[in-house]
Amino acid sequence: NAGVTQTPKFRVLKTGQSMTLLCAQDMNHEYMYWYRQDPGMGLRLIHYSVGEGTTAKGEVPDGYNVSRLKKQNFLLGLESAAPSQTSVYFCASAPVSIRQFFGPGTRLTVL
């Protein structure tokens, strides 16, 4: 039982490049979330999903897109990366929205 996994762990992009972050969970959870963590800003919600095929905007959705084609996977896309998107990204899943289980994070640097 791997819990929540994130791929990749590290990535360096140049401004304007695109990439997709993958989150996978093997706990059959309905809810999945993408956060970014920046110094002094805490965990800010980017997008979330309350079930397969659904997505919703969080607090800071601009510049990101998501898809939940399969229940166990939640993808976060950056179409045209900007230096302001340099951050640590965390994925989380939950059986209900309250008790969230987090992945280990992806450290992204945009030059």
Partner 1 sequence: DQQVKQNSPSLSVQEGRISILNCDYTNSMFDYFLWYKKYPAEGPTFLISISSIKDKNEDGRFTVFLNKSAKHLSLHIVPSQPGDSAVYFCANQGAQKLVFGQGTRLTINP
Q: What is the DSSP letter of 95?
A: S
Least distance CB 89 / partner 1 (angstroms): 10
> Does residue 1 interact with partner 1 by CB under 8 A?
no
CB atoms within 10 A of CB 97: 11
Least Å distance, CB 6 to partner 1, is 8
Q: Which amino acid is at 21?
A: L
Q: Which of 24, 25, 29, 33 binds partner 1 (CB under 8 A)?
A: 33
Q: In Å, how far are 7, 53, 86 from 18, measured between CA atoms?
A: 15, 23, 13
- Give CA–CA dist 89/111, Å, rounded: 17
**Using the rule CB under 8 A, is 42 a contact of partner 1?**
yes
Give, as one character, the DSSP assignment of residue 15. T
Cα–Cα distance measured from residue 36 to residue 60, given in angstroms and rounded to the nearest whole number: 9
Looking at 68, 103, 108, 110, which residue binds partner 1 (CB under 8 A)?
A: 103
**Among residues 21, 25, 31, 78, which is the contact residue for partner 1, using CB under 8 A?**
31
**Residue 63 within binding range of partner 1, rule CB under 8 A:** no
Which parts of this chain interact with partner 1 (CB under 8 A)?
4, 31, 33, 35, 40-45, 48, 50, 56, 58, 90, 92, 97-105
